[in-house]
Structure 1
Amino acid sequence: MEHSQLQCTFAIFSCTILSIIYVASLYIWKSPHSREHPSTIKKRFLSVFIISLISPVPLYIGLNQGLIQQETLWELLGLRWSGLLQAVLIPLFLTIVLFLGPITMLSVNGSWRFYGEPTNWLNSIKSLIWWRNLVVAPLSEEWTFRACMLPLLMQCFNQKIAIFICPLFFGIAHFHHIVDRMKKGMEFKHAFFISSFQFAYTTLFGIYAAFLFAKTGHIIASFTAHSFCNHMGFPDISEVLAYKNPVKRAGLLSLFFIGLIAWCFLLTPLTNPKWFNNNIFWNEQSV
């Protein structure tokens, strides 16, 4: 087997094993409690922390040694100072544009008042669920499924193909929620349908996150977008359709589409690798 074929086999195998281990680590604890219970959340925090320590090992073993000599392992993992501020602000701005419709809905239905109450912020910070959804889950997932997998895949495939392959591991990993739903009494068919839908949109988000990581060379870019998306949740079009006023309904729906179209137009120009001093993962021929 040629060396390049061996590298690709190792990369696919490593990504598959990391996905399995990441999900399995969430279920090694025997507990009668649901995933929302504080004891379950704390145990899963410990699990993903340990997995996060293990995840870079396949990357170090499987990478071309010449590449490691050119860049440090930390840089390949998206941990670097150069271009850091841009990597935080620009992906956040892009994601806000994408969520133009849902953000407008917060203003229309009055939910925006939540952000003006210091007590709400304090209660959120004290909540383990808040830490799980906005910090620990997006950070550990971006670390394992983006930072540790994408560099491996990009030495076997060109950037664009790798960006589409990498999220499949991320999307499939979310099928483990079938177990949680069935524990709550949901039938398998219903649980499978919901998880299949979740697989679809997490894979689409994964493509976006992988694109941000590759174009910026920063894990903070995909983490920022991931955390914001977790906070907003999946856009609820049904709430808009419930408005009886046709003008208001049409206006709100148009903002959902305007946000999506604006995001499509802005995505490539606002993620120019030069803006992030990134010459690690993206070359001129790939832009």
Structure 2
Amino acid sequence: MALRFEQLSCAQSVPACLLLACLYVGSLYVWRHEMPRDHPDVIKRRFTSVLVVSALAPFYLWLWSADQENQDQSWGSLLETMGIHTRGLLPAIVLPLLLTAVLFLGPIVQLTLDCPWDFVSGVKVLIEPRFWALCVSDIWWVRNHVVAPLTEELVFRACMLPLLVPCTGPTMAVFACPLFFGVAHFHHVIEQLKFKQGSVEMILLSAAFQFSYTSVFGAYTAFLFMRTGHLVGPVLCHSFCNQMGFPPVAAALEHPRRSAIAGCYVSGLVLFLLLLHPVTQPAFYADNAFGLLGASATVGR
């Protein structure tokens, strides 16, 4: 059974989410330093602070629930509310990741055509333990593919959506929650201005662009969380998207095989939209969707 938050009003849930977002972003700046964000020492310190905030976020969520008196029930339900459980786990791992790969069909084909390796060689690299050992030893890789996806999805999806649903309803929560996620990325502007990483106009334009696509991406992972009732899918999709980056559309238009690649871009988008609801049917995930958040209807219906 999930925790109950039906007693929350918008005057409570929105500030609660805003405070949680501020705690996450603020934790990045508790360390005094004169180095850019990509310096290894800065990354290590920020690992510590965001992991602390992420560890405390579930307790913060519990404080807002209506089940505090029955601690045995509420603590047992906390992980379920956050989408951390084993029911329907395998589909929750595989299906959202495949769906996201379909969306990136164009960039994947583009990368494949430009890759100097053949398919068999590429597979051999992926199953080589030394390859993964090298990745894990790379602090930038760990930040982009492990720590950032895990902590951001836990805080901005698993802990915020249960707070927002009583205020906005399930469908609007999918679109409201990413706004906190998008705004949270504006802190990059501070560092870019501090280290003069471009003109003020370009930095602000880049921030606006980043806000747009992080909000769209946040809506997608929020949708996955609400439909599947699992946190693992959004985390893996977040990691995959960080690996792929924003689709290199300009390079695709200049590619020698641009017609084929453009067709894959369009086909991937069309297939993604067609498969979005069927692949995320709650029945595939042991009907976890939304029951975890105490809602009576399924998002997207």
- TM (norm. structure 2) is 0.87
Q: Structure 1: any 5+ residue segments left out of the alignment?
A: none
Letter in 2 for 1:126: S
Distance 1:114 1:38, change over 3 A: farther
Deviations 1:9-29, CA, capped at 9 Å, x for gaps: 211011101111111111111
163, 166, 184: which one aligns with 1:173: 184
> Which residue of the partner structure matches residue 215 of structure 1?
227
**C-alpha distance in 2 between matches for 1:285 and 1:123:** 42
Amino acid at match of 2:194: K
Which secondary structure does the structure 2 equivalent of 1:268 belong to?
A: helix
Alignment TM-score, normalising by the size of structure 1: 0.91
User: Relative to structure 1, is the Cα distance of residues 263 and 11 closer, same or farther in structure 2, using a 3 angstrom cutoff?
Assistant: same
Contact 1:7 1:62 survives alignment (8 Å)? no
Displacement after TM superposition at 1:174 (Å): 0.5
Counterpart amino acid of residue 256 in structure 1:
Y
| Aligned residues of 1:171 and 1:203 also touching (Cα < 8 A) | yes
Q: 1:110 to 1:6 in 2, by over 3 A?
A: closer
The 5-angstrom pairing of residues 174-253 of structure 1 reads 174-185=185-196, 186-243=198-255, 245=256, 248-253=257-262
Q: Which letter does structure 2 place at the counterpart of 1:174? A: H
Change (3 A) 1:97 1:5: same
Displacement of 1:264 after TM fit? 0.6
Residue 78 of structure 1: how far off its partner (Å): 0.8
| 1:172–1:236 CA distance, 2 compared to 1 (3 A) | same
Name the one with the larger helix percent.
1
Contact 1:97 1:260 in 2 (8 A): yes
Aligned length: 281
Name the Cα RMSD after superposition: 2.2
Q: Name the residue aligned to 2:264.
A: 255
**2:54 maps to 1:77:** no
**Mean alpha-carbon deviation: is it higher for 3-12 or for 98-107?**
3-12
Task: Name the SS for the 1:140 alignment partner.
Answer: helix
Deviation at 1:42, TM superposition (A): 0.6
CA distance in 2, matches of 1:265, 1:177: 35
Separation in 2 of the partners of 1:237 and 1:173? 26
What do the CA deviations read for 1:153-209 (whole angstroms, capped 9, x no partner)? 112222111111001000100111112222331222211110110000000000000
Distance 1:285 1:45, change over 3 A: closer
1:127 and 1:43 map into 2 onto residues whose CA distance is 15
Select between 185-194 and 159-168 the one with higher mean Cα deviation: 185-194
Unmatched segments (≥5 aa) in structure 2: none
